Amino acid sequence: MAKKRRCAVLPTNIILLQNVVRRDPESYREEFLQQYAHYESLRDIFLMNPSAEDKDDQFADLIGFVGAVCSCYPKETANFPNELKEILTTNHRDLSPDLREKIIQTLTMLRNKDVISSEMLIQTLFPLLTIYSRGGFAAGQNVKALRKQIYSTLVALLKNVNTPAKNQKLNRQTQALLFNLLEQRDPQGLWATKLTRELWRRGIWDDSRTVEIMTQAALHPDTKVAISGVKFFLGADKERQDMFDDQSSDEDGFDMNALKHKMNVNKKSGKRAKKLEMAVKSVKKKNGAKHSATYLNFSAIHLLRDPQGFADDLFVTHLSAKNANKFDLDQKIMIMNLVSRLVGTHKLTVLGLYTFFLKYLTPKQRNVTQVMAAAAQASHDLVPPETIAVVVRKIADEFVSDGVAAEVASAGLNTIREILSRAPLAIDSTLLQDLVEYKGSKSKPVMMAARSLVTLYREVAPEMLHRKDRGKTASMELQAGEKKGLPQFGVESTTSGIPGLELLAKWREEQGLPGDDEADDAAWEVDDEDDASDIEGEWVTVESDKEYDVSDSDDDDDDKPEGDNDNDENSDLDLSDDEDDNDDDTNDADGDAKPTKKRRLTKEEAREARRARIAERKRRRLNPDADKEAEPVAPKQKSEEELAREREAEKAMTELLSSRVLTPADFAKLQELRTEAGVEKIMGLKNEDSVDSDGLVGPVKYKQLREEKIAQAKEGREGREFGSRKGKRDAPHSTTNKEKQRQKNFVMMIHKKAVKGKQKMSLRDRQKLLRAHIDKQKKKGH
């Protein structure tokens, strides 16, 4: 008998066979062919009667087997993927859920082994995602499971394909499929939005084509699809950011340093070394993924190809006339929010929008603050003021009167302020002066809101305020004739060149720096961490310089508020009644305006900003015309002096720009100088900031319940003890000798020699003793 080989075991089940075939495809070729023939016969049986209800596990097993080993026999199984594809596409209704799942799995596996292309897989699977939408095939087909499987397969596939580098060809093909899906105008378009949102969230798709898909979706006639698209524009970037934050924040259980230390200390073994290696690899992988070179972080609204057209379409198809009826209020608000964001960000003109808001601007309207926020976002300086004035008037009429609750009035005033800060011309002085009268209101939020309005107009157009409201600085400027009337509609404050560059030129001149340090390598390297501390340190020296130079009448006054602010962050919110104290007032009003911004300033930023403000004030006092260059002014009336100054700035700029290349170090310095000079603030509010609807109402304080009051009082007393410490011991112990002596009965003690002896001592000795005691008592504390 021939010698039996160890491997000469004919496997009787498919898993075993799969294992041995993978290990040694050549020797097991015949077995494979036999199984392949069996697969073919089972396939024929299946095709003969696809709807047979036999649960044919064997067929599914064989498909899995052939799929798993088919890369070993590429020639024999050349047709296998196509057969699977055909079975899936023609018979998907008859397939049992298990078999269908197996086929999809196998196709995915084949893709992973590069047997079939990604395009083919997507083209096979994608139609199945939406195919069960019409008609009643759904029963008993496990459609949900099918869709879920296909959806996750597609997401995983696109993720894999795009990981090392973006596969633009495949992305474009898939996006074309999604476009087609959205063009069909049925609820299945939801899958397109779902897929796109997911991929955007993961940062896999981040180009304008992706955004274009979502614009299509947002304009879709189907409610769900449209809202999904709108949500994408409103929240997708935040979602994406959150996801990346999550990724970076979740640290795994192991500590790299600890592991390395263990490697040094413990016995060296292969297992431990491997563990360390794995840890290093995973850390590298994590860090690598975070800083992917292909990842761009543009927000979706900025990637729009035709923002004006999109905003117009969105307004016309979803909001105007009766089209809005298919949405409920929340959805309408979402769409309003999006349209107004678009209008604000890109400074678009959608004139119908403002009258549309009027209908919703009543205090009784549900979620009115969100509508108000949208109205504020939608206003900007390129809209004709009379269009926005209607909205302002309506808000003033509806919200700001004596008869309404304090929150309503403050919400109205805050909204008006937000609108006017974007479009200062949208109000006439009478109305403004009326509104400003609310600064004497007893309700704190209303008063704060009115004051913020005052502060705003002191900055923008003090002429529109009453004389008493203008404040010191603005009045002085007006008297000196520096403020040149109201801002005008259509005149934009354009910037030519780099704002604040003349400051840099001046600084360089003062420092006596040569004109050609761009060759210096150090100037090209900017260390982020060092930057902050540098600025801070340097700033202090500058401040002290100026302080000594000025030594004006009220320089003590200046120092104090700064110190106060540093100690107590909340002091900003406490308004002093002293109207004359101009500096303090500005400070406070700015502080009021701040909480309404979505992005709360951090402590550090707040301090920085305060310093900048103080510096600016000082600078103004030094030479009052310095801020003219950057201020938006009407071009017609310019004094000689001003023109000369402007010319000088221009000259400095051209000189600097023509002589040398700006290094990153220069830009850092420029930023610093600009902050110092307060140019940043004057350059104005960014339209991209969204208005926070919750902040519009202002800080609301309700009467506290008794329990709350008690709890608050207790909070302050934590860690403090009241009453005598007598009889309380820190550490448990038995009575000390001293205590025992003290507690001893008087009658027992009176006969002791130590007590009795005192009486018998000589006068001299007693005196000595007394003196010693007195000395001791005196020294006790030291």
Partner 1 sequence: MAGSSKRKKAQKAKDFVKPKLKVGKTAAKPSNHTDTSFKAKTITLNQQIGKRLTSEQDLIHQLSLTKHHSDSTRKEVLQNLEGSLPDNPSLYKQILASVTPLILDPEVSKPLIALLTTAARKQPGLMDLHMRSVVLFVLSAMSHINPRVRNNSSKFLEILIDYAPQSLSKQNFVKVLKNYFGLMAWTLVDDKTQKGLAITASSAQGGSVKKARIPHLQVLQKFLRSSLFEVTSAKDIDWSAVVTVHPQSFRYMIPHAPQPYAPLKLFVQELQSTQTDLSLSDIDSISAEDLDTRRRVFSEVFMEPMKRGVAPMIKEGGEVGREANNLLSCILEFEQDLKQNN
H helices of 664-762, in order, are 664-677, 679-682, 706-717, 737-743, 746-750, 753-760
Q: Which is nearer to partner 1, 43 or 620 (CB)?
A: 43
Q: Which is nearer to partner 1, 53 or 730 (CB)?
A: 53
Is 461 exposed, middle or buried (CB count within 10 Å of its CB: 0-12, 13-18, 19+)? buried
Q: Which is nearer to partner 1, 41 or 323 (CB)?
A: 41
Long-range contacts of 490-497 (CB under 8 A, 24+ apart): 490/382, 491/632, 491/634, 491/635, 492/381, 492/382, 492/632, 493/631, 493/632, 493/683, 493/684, 495/683, 497/650, 497/653, 497/657
The token pair at 353 is 């929008």
Q: Which is nearer to partner 1, 58 or 493 (CB)?
A: 58
- Residue pair 458/420 in contact by the 8 Å Cβ criterion: no
Name the minimum Å distance from CB 19 to partner 1. 14
Name the minimum Å distance from CB 119 to partner 1. 22
Interface residues with partner 1 (CB under 8 A)? 2, 4-5, 8-14, 17, 26-31, 33-35, 37-38, 40-45, 47-50, 54, 75-76, 78-79, 83, 86, 90
Residue 691: beta bridge partners? Answer: 597
Name the minimum Å distance from CB 177 to partner 1. 26
Number of residues that this document lists for the chain: 782
Helices 223-249, 189-201: axis angle to 10 degrees equals 20
Name the minimum Å distance from CB 235 to partner 1. 48
Q: Which is nearer to partner 1, 11 or 235 (CB)?
A: 11
Is 207 exposed, middle or buried (CB count within 10 Å of its CB: 0-12, 13-18, 19+)? middle
Name the minimum Å distance from CB 44 to partner 1. 5
Helices 406-422, 385-399: axis angle to 10 degrees equals 170
Name the minimum Å distance from CB 83 to partner 1. 5
Specify the amino acid at residue 583: D
Q: Which is nearer to partner 1, 76 or 558 (CB)?
A: 76
Q: Which is nearer to partner 1, 20 or 447 (CB)?
A: 20
Specify the amino acid at residue 307: P
Q: Which is nearer to partner 1, 48 or 763 (CB)?
A: 48
Name the minimum Å distance from CB 5 to partner 1. 7
Report the 10 Å Cβ neighbour count for 657.
14
- DSSP tag of 695: G
Q: Which is nearer to partner 1, 47 or 258 (CB)?
A: 47
Q: Which is nearer to partner 1, 61 or 631 (CB)?
A: 61
Q: Which is nearer to partner 1, 76 or 543 (CB)?
A: 76
> From CA 99, how far away is CA 97, in angstroms rounded?
6
Name the minimum Å distance from CB 99 to partner 1. 16
Name the minimum Å distance from CB 60 to partner 1. 14
Specify the amino acid at residue 724: S
Q: Which is nearer to partner 1, 48 or 713 (CB)?
A: 48
DSSP assignment string, 198-255:
HHHHTTS--SHHHHHHHHHHHT-SSHHHHHHHHHHHHHHHHHHHHHHHHHHH---S--
- Residue pair 407/694 in contact by the 8 Å Cβ criterion: no
Name the minimum Å distance from CB 103 to partner 1. 14
Q: Which is nearer to partner 1, 5 or 779 (CB)?
A: 5
Which of 206, 219, 216 lies closest to 299 in space, CA to CA? Answer: 206
DSSP assignment string, 569-617:
GGGGGS--S-SS-HHHHHHHHHHHHGGGBSSPPPHHHHHHHHHHHHHHH
> From CA 708, how far away is CA 759, in angstroms rounded?
65
> From CA 448, how far away is CA 440, in angstroms rounded?
9
First to last CA, the chain: 109
Name the minimum Å distance from CB 308 to partner 1. 54
Q: Which is nearer to partner 1, 57 or 765 (CB)?
A: 57
Name the minimum Å distance from CB 318 to partner 1. 47
Q: Which is nearer to partner 1, 71 or 299 (CB)?
A: 71
Q: Which is nearer to partner 1, 94 or 222 (CB)?
A: 94
Name the minimum Å distance from CB 28 to partner 1. 6
What contacts 415, CB < 8 A, 6 or more positions away?
A: 372, 373, 375, 376, 395, 399, 696
* Residue at token pair 């004109």: 515
Name the minimum Å distance from CB 49 to partner 1. 8
DSSP assignment string, 357-414:
HHTT-STTSTTHHHHHHHHHHH--TTS-HHHHHHHHHHHHHHH-STTS-HHHHHHHHH
Name the minimum Å distance from CB 95 to partner 1. 14
Name the minimum Å distance from CB 3 to partner 1. 10
